[in-house]
Amino acid sequence: MPSYTTQQIAQRVGGTLAGPADKTLHGVEGLDTAGPDHLTFIRDAANASRWDACKAGGALVSKGVEIAADPSRALIHIPDADLALATVLEMFAPPPARPAAGVHPSAVVDPSAVLGAGVAVGPHAFIGPRVRIGDSTVIHANVTILDETVLGRECEIFPGVVFRDRCAAGDRVIIHPNTTIGSDGFGYRATPRGAVKIPHIGRVVIGSDVELGAGVCIDRGKFSDTTIGDGTKIDNQVHIAHNCRIGRSCLIAGQVGFAGSVTMGDGVMVGGATIFRDHITVGSGASIAGGSAVLGDVPDGASWGGSPARDIREAFKEYAALRRLPDLLKQLKQVKK
């Protein structure tokens, strides 16, 4: 792992340094586990009270947090310690393990596939007929990309990912292990002779700068496309059913489930383990608390939560009333006596 002086770190994050400028730090740790060679971060006053007991050699400190100067340790004052931490972690991150540019001897690439300049294809990957892959994209081991799929430039597709046929992804897309793009949607029609499977002939189309976590499943559309907008980030183990349309720059936490044909606007934030009923619309800028069950349309900019989900302020009032219910029942029994 590389090392940096406190001055180098302060310059990279655009912070104001207080304390030694030449102190060398070798990594990042939390307040409770940091040692003299580590940098830590302090986002608020509650964490500032733990600084005296911390052994870290330096800290990123959010604006407005008061900490007494220590001549032996460095404080780097910045507007947002959490945001600056992302930059620092990039500095200390070891180089990622990637296959070398070119096609590994054990990989199978159909002769009709077109690979851009600098593409890397790892061991035992399969690239099907008429697939097109943009410049500098990295395909890790055991990835399967089926017929006529198109990937943009500078993507990174981690081991075990499967692209079914005719899907598409834009530039700089990152997909983590064992995610499946373009599986059949769950579409059946009940008949006296049993369930009849409905063919799904649409695609999945993913925009640029999208990141998908591990174990995500995105179903292809029944007769049009399931789409993911530019800049959207999706956590692990999320299921997006057929014909959903997810907007740009959305943040979707883990274990969220979308039934078919959900339409989501831009900039929506969704907490973990939330479920969405089919054929509803979630407005741009909305936020949904974790563990919610969204059964109806959500207005633009609304904050909803609960099961069924509704305005979060109303949900909190109901939860508060429910917590009082045991005491109210006791009082009622006393009145009856």
Q: Quick one: pLDDT at residue 318? A: 86
Calpha distance 109→9 (Å, rounded): 44
Angle at 261 between CA 263 and CA 147, to 5 degrees: 105
Render pLDDT for 25-55 as a digit per residue (tens, 0 to 9).
999 999 999 999 999 999 999 899 999 999 9
Quote the pTM value: 0.90
Calpha distance 27→79 (Å, rounded): 21
Assigned token pair, 303:
């904050």
Among candidate residues 176, 239, 242, 279, the one labeled active-site is 242
Calpha distance 55→10 (Å, rounded): 19
Answer yes or no: 140 catalytic: no
Torsion of CA 265, 221, 124, 115, to 10 degrees: -70
Q: What domains can be seen in the chain, in order of their start residue?
A: 4-92 (3.40.1390.10), 103-312 (2.160.10.10)
Q: Which own/partner contact pairs does 228-236 have at CB distance under 8 Å and 24+ positions apart?
A: 228/204, 229/266, 230/170, 231/207, 232/207, 234/210, 235/272, 236/176
Pairing of strands 4-5, 24-25: antiparallel
pLDDT band per the 50, 70, 90 thresholds, residue 127:
very high
Render pLDDT for 259-289 as a digit per residue (tens, 0 to 9).
999 999 999 999 999 999 999 999 999 999 9
Cβ atoms of 276 and 282 closer than 8 Å:
yes
